[in-house]
Amino acid sequence: MTDQTAKLDWRQTDAGAVPVSVQFDDPYYSLVGGLAETRHVFLDGNDLPARFGGDFQIAELGFGTGLNLLTAWAAWERAGCSGRLNFTSFEAFPMDAAQMARALQAFPEVAPWRDRFLTGWAGSGGYMSETLRFELIVGDARKTLPEWEGQADAWFLDGFSPARNPELWGAKLLADVGRHTAPAGTLATYTAAGQVRRALQAAGFLITRVPGYGRKRHMTRGALA
């Protein structure tokens, strides 16, 4: 595990303890329904699971608690897809397994996938099962993404708020997202910040602002032009 591990505070809510990043002073998921937010933003935002099949590749900026991974993996298996879902995540400050386990206690619906993943996960490395091939790339995505050899069919852009974590939303990095997107590939993110939408347009995506989840009025979807 990298020495740049996640530093957390735990905020008490009606739904239990929610992890908050000390580095970015931002919660890891919605205080009003993290699992529902993941499904709305990242699955629905990329037209998943309807597009699942074949050698499908998801890539993600910001691994966080692993909730997005587990939600996508559960959807893949429930859809009865053959083969493995490929999922690559870029994360500068990864949680350790104990932190992830505590954070994910709030989502019993994905507990079967959580338990399988945490049992086999090699810390900052990868994980493979009959239905999932996962890779966690640790470090500054501005340096690691350009070196990645993959092409994503769907991107989950889930860094902390652009106001608090501007490095993960810069025009150069988002241009690299475009370069690492397969033909007809898509993206989704919870933010509708103007500078993010403009940078994604410049990276070659057709951008749509659509209703967000919870208190967020809007979010962003994109498709490679």
Token duo for residue 93: 């400050």
CA distance 68 to 224: 22
pLDDT confidence of residue 214: 77
pLDDT confidence of residue 32: 64
Q: Which H or E run includes 106?
A: none
Mean pLDDT of 175-184: 98
Identify the sign of the CA torsion 91, 78, 45, 132: positive
* Predicted confidence (pLDDT) per residue in 5-39, tens digit: 777 777 776 666 777 777 776 777 765 678 899 99
- E strands of the chain, at which residues? 8-13, 16-21, 26-27, 57-61, 85-91, 126-128, 132-138, 152-157, 181-189, 205-211, 218-224
Q: Determine contact, residues 166/160, Cβ cutoff 8 Å.
A: no
Mean pLDDT of 162-171: 88
* Predicted confidence (pLDDT) per residue in 119-147, tens digit: 988 766 789 999 999 999 999 999 999 99
Single pTM value for the model: 0.91
What is the end-to-end Cα distance of the chain in Å, rounded? 38
* Predicted confidence (pLDDT) per residue in 84-96, tens digit: 999 999 998 888 8
CA distance 188 to 158: 9
pLDDT confidence of residue 23: 73
pLDDT: is 222 or 64 the higher one?
222
* Predicted confidence (pLDDT) per residue in 204-225, tens digit: 999 999 998 877 889 999 999 8
Cα 76 versus chain centre, distance: 15
